[in-house]
Amino acid sequence: MAIYALGDREPTLGADVYIHPEAVVIGDVTLGDGVSVWPSAVLRGDSGSITIGARTNIQDGTIIHCTPIDATVIGSGCVVGHNAHIEGATIGDDCLIASGSVVLNGSTIGDRAIVGAGAVIPYKFAVPPARMALGVPARIREGFEVPEGHVDLNVEMYYQNAQYYRESLRRVE
């Protein structure tokens, strides 16, 4: 695992965290219990802090950063899809931040919300709880409410997959 302190900023890992050997975690990053961080993901808490809640999965190629002004906070039970970029934003519990999406500084994503694949959440934009944001720049999809439990299967699958990887992953030269 590539876990680094940066000066006096040091990662804090909860119980049962899985960080793939090809992922990078630097500085002031707190990972809750059961978080998984997958290949090529970078979590860089150098100029501020990053906090990720329990059983959230950070999928392949995702970049999570922060600023001295805006910490990055991601709630529990979230799915952060492949190649997402989150910078200085606050994301509630049970959210889906889909593959290739960008969530920019000062933005807030309410509990149970979805940021659609490839969407760009602009500076200081708010996605209400249980709503879906789509497009570039993102807009709220009218007349749609995200159902309860929409990410539960994915959260459990990634949690179980992390256990399997912890026990079975081996490098073959």
**What domains lie within the chain, and their CATH numbers?**
2-168 (2.160.10.10)
Which of these, 18, 85, 90, lies nearest to 56 by C-alpha position? 18
pLDDT, position 145: 95
> What is the tens place of the pLDDT at every residue in 136-166?
999 999 999 999 999 999 999 999 999 999 9
Residue 9 in this model has a pLDDT that exceeds 70 = yes
What's the pTM? 0.97
CA distance 35 to 11: 13
Token pair listed for 15: 């119980």
Taking phi first (over 0 means left), then psi (-120 to 50 degrees means alpha), and beta for anything else, what does residue 133 get?
beta
State the pLDDT confidence band at 1, using cuts at 50, 70 and 90.
low
> What is the tens place of the pLDDT at every residue in 109-120?
999 999 999 999
> What is the tens place of the pLDDT at every residue in 53-102?
999 999 999 999 999 999 999 999 999 999 999 999 999 999 999 999 99
